[in-house]
């Protein structure tokens, strides 16, 4: 009969395919168990930055239990026992034998600050991965009441985290990640997206005057190249002051080579002949879909960077910032499309003119003297 396993037990002595940070954590803990006074040399490190829960609990216990006198610690293991007693309630898998293992595997206790820096770097990579995965997940969550605002808020949180990392890790040359990232999809060509684009094109054809206020929408925002080219036809006609209707759009499309690909002119006329609603509404829908698709792409790219342990913290910072910059232009156009139109500037008021009346009565000095 197999023996039941303790769900709280950590297999600390046999971790197959452990990452280098595991050995950095062991070496740091071994150095601190040998020389507790080195806690003052490792900088700002906390238990939550350890990848192994038991290691973090042991480190927290070291932070909590007052350090012993150096001379006493060499001859009396009382401090080790106190630390173990403080850590065991949070990590029952810890044992006295494992503390001795940590001491034995530490190469050089004086390298404790370097081991701590390795632990902080790996924690930064894991935290960046969490932020990036959350950005990609939010960008594709169809249940959110305001997906664009929620997605941009997560992008802000990711950007703030990168700013924090930039202050913790010194820059160095050659900082671009060399990770191969998956190519971005051509676009979300679901039927709902195509329907919104068709309604936008037809409604813009019926109300071309509103196109001049929709410069925030670009051809790259469309999921179908045909729709992007028809949008260019519409904006070109409107910009040049030409009449806009299904026939003029067809004529402009001919000049752009759309009909050379075998497109039936009747299909193109039908595409721009069923208006519903307003162009601004459908334009915002198209732009929001493009914004979310770009945010998903950014989250996927940063996830690829963070999953590659070959990237240094500064490579992660530089690559992630460049990825986020690709979202900035779309974000600016989205904010321009959704912000209310500012009221026209107020004309300066002319100075008040007093009503006509009798001139003020002047009293001469001689007249006052005669009174």
Helices (H), the chain: 20-34, 53-64, 70-75, 78-87, 96-105, 112-139, 147-166, 191-206, 225-239, 246-255, 265-271, 279-307, 313-338, 365-370
* Under 8 Å between Cβ of 176 and 315: yes
Both tokens assigned to 201: 């094109």
Separation of CA 196 from chain center: 27
- Cβ count within 10 A of residue 196: 22
Q: Which among 158, 187, 184 has a CA at the least distance from the CA of 297?
A: 184
Contacts of 321 (CB under 8 A, 6+ apart): 159, 162
Compute the distance between CA of residue 285 and CA of residue 287 in angstroms, rounded to an integer: 5
Q: Which among 287, 269, 277, 191 has a CA at the least distance from the CA of 233?
A: 269
pLDDT tens for the chain, 371 residues: list them.
444 445 444 555 554 678 899 999 999 999 999 999 999 999 899 999 999 999 999 999 999 999 888 878 777 889 999 999 999 999 998 999 999 999 999 999 999 999 999 999 999 999 999 999 999 999 999 999 999 999 999 999 999 999 999 988 877 766 788 888 776 655 556 899 999 999 999 999 999 999 999 999 999 999 999 999 999 999 999 999 999 999 999 999 999 998 887 889 999 999 999 999 999 999 999 999 999 999 999 999 999 999 999 999 999 999 999 999 999 999 999 999 887 655 555 555 555 544 444 555 544 444 444 33
Both tokens assigned to 22: 């595991």
Compute the distance between CA of residue 341 and CA of residue 70 in angstroms, rounded to an integer: 71
Compute the distance between CA of residue 183 and CA of residue 154 in angstroms, rounded to an integer: 22
The widest CA-to-CA distance across the chain, in whole angstroms, is 134
- pLDDT on residue 316: 94
Compute the distance between CA of residue 212 and CA of residue 280 in angstroms, rounded to an integer: 11
**pTM for this entry:** 0.81
CA dihedral of residues 43, 46, 49, 53 (deg, nearest 10)? 140
**Cα torsion angle, 16, 22, 23, 25, sign:** negative
- Domains belonging to the chain, first-starting first, are 20-107 (no CATH), 121-173+185-338 (1.10.860.10)
């Amino acid at each position: 009969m197999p023996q039941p396993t303790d769900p709280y037990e950590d297999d600390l002595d046999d971790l197959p395919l452990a990452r280098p940070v595991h050995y950095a954590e062991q070496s740091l803990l071994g150095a601190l168990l040998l020389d507790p006074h080195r806690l003052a040399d490792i900088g700002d490190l906390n238990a939550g930055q350890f990848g192994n829960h038991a290691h973090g609990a042991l480190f927290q216990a070291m932070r909590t239990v007052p350090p012993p006198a150096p001379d006493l610690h060499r001859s009396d293991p009382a401090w080790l026992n106190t630390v173990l007693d403080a850590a065991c309630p949070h990590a029952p898998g810890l044992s006295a034998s494992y503390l001795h293992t940590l001491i034995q595997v530490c190469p050089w206790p004086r390298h404790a600050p370097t081991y701590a820096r390795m632990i902080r770097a790996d924690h930064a990579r894991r935290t960046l991965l969490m932020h990036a995965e959350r950005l990609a997940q939010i960008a594709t969550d169809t249940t959110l009441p305001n997906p664009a605002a929620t997605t941009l808020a997560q992008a802000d949180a990711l950007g703030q985290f990168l700013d924090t990392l930039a202050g913790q890790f010194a820059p160095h040359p050659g900082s671009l990640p060399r990770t191969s990232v998956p190519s971005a999809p051509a676009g979300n060509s679901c039927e709902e997206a195509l329907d919104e684009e068709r309604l936008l094109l037809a409604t813009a054809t019926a109300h071309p005057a509103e196109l001049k206020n929709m410069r925030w929408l670009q051809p790259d925002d469309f999921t179908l190249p045909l729709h992007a080219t028809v949008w260019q036809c519409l904006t070109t006609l409107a910009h040049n002051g030409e009449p806009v209707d299904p026939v003029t759009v067809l004529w402009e499309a001919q000049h752009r080579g759309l009909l050379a690909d075998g497109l039936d002119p009747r299909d193109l006329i039908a595409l721009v002949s069923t208006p519903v609603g307003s162009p601004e509404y459908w334009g915002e829908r198209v732009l929001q879909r493009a914004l979310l698709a770009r945010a998903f792409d950014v989250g996927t790219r940063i996830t690829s960077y963070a999953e590659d342990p070959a990237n240094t913290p500064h490579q992660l910072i530089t690559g992630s910032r460049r990825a986020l910059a690709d979202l900035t232009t779309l974000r600016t156009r989205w904010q321009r499309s959704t912000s209310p139109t500012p009221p026209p500037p107020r004309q300066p008021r002319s100075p008040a003119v007093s009503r006509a009346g009798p001139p003020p009565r002047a009293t001469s000095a001689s007249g006052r003297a005669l009174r």
